[in-house]
Each structure stands twice: as structure tokens, then as C-alpha cells.
Amino acid sequence: MHHGDFVKAQNPPKGSKDALVEMASDCILMRTRLVSRVITNLYDEALRPFGLNSPQFALLLVISVREPASRSEIGRFHHQERSTLTRNLKIMLTEGWIEEVPGNSGGRARPIRLSKAGRRLLQSVITAWRGAQTEAQNLLGADGACTIMEIASQIMKPQPTA
């Protein structure tokens, strides 16, 4: 389905403003949120048997490549709002998947790393993740999956500091 087909299929009422038709047919936000929900659901189904959801899984991966990392470093890297990050980290600490380690700033900062249980959990989901990954790649097609990876790589590039 071409992106304009959505609007045509909905038969916008006569007299609707051209700008509303433009927004409904060309809105990148609406499309990316749709793709995000569908892909997230694929991974949620695969990870559910392990007591893990997609946001937690993604955060565990971020921590695994950045550890030990402060909450602010994790939040910046993952582009996640502080309250959402704090809520997810609290759950993951309670589950024992991550742990705080002594920091170098006199005890104020508490860097985070994966615990042994967190590493075991990530190891245990490999087969399920691969299944969800294949399903997502099939849904997106090779070009779509490649484009998403390229966009994400650009977003994750460190920004130069002024």
C-alpha cells in the first residue's frame, strides 16, 4: 500500500483542509510509531516467556555495551527520558539483571552494569531473539531493515561537543 492510499481509503470528508490530508498521508511520526508498535510486539511475544519485555531487553543491550555507565550516560545513549529510564532501571535492579557498582565520584554516582543473572538472561533469549529478528526482517524487507539500521546508526553517533 502506498502511503497516500491510507487517506484515499478513508475518504476524507468534503471541505477538509488540504493540510489535514497532507498530515494524514505524509506524517512520518504516524508511520514510525506504527512500525515501532508492530516490531515491538514481535519482540515482546518472543521475549515474554523469559519474563522480559522489549524496552527492558533494549536497555539491557545498551547497558551491556556501555557498562559500567551512569544513568545519565545510558539515558543519553538510549535517547530515553529520565523518569522512564529510572522506572525501567528500578525494575531491572529488583529482578537482579543489573547492579550498581561503586563509582569514582565519592559514592554519589552509581554506575550500572549487567549482573551475572542479566548476562545469563541475555544468553537465554538468543534463539527467541533470532526468531523475532528474522520475523522483523521479513516484515520490513531487506531494504527496510537496512534503512532502519542506517538511520539508527546515524542517531547513535556521538555528537560533537561545543
Environment class of residue 45 by beta-carbon count within 10 Å: exposed (0-12), middle (13-18) or buried (19+)? middle
CA within 13 Å, CB half, 29:
3
* pLDDT at residue 25 in the model: 85
Tens digit of each residue's pLDDT, the chain (162 residues): 455 555 454 555 554 568 888 888 889 999 999 999 999 999 999 999 999 999 999 999 999 999 999 999 999 888 888 898 999 999 999 999 999 998 666 656 789 999 999 999 999 999 999 999 999 999 999 999 999 999 999 988 876 665
Cell 511475544 sits on residue: 45
3-state secondary structure of 104: coil
* pTM (whole model) above 0.85: no
Q: Report phi then psi at 135, rounded to 5.
A: -65, -40
* pLDDT at residue 114 in the model: 97
* pLDDT at residue 13 in the model: 54
* pLDDT at residue 19 in the model: 83
The Cα-based distances of 137 to 56, 62, 69, 111 in angstroms read 21, 21, 30, 34
* pLDDT at residue 26 in the model: 87
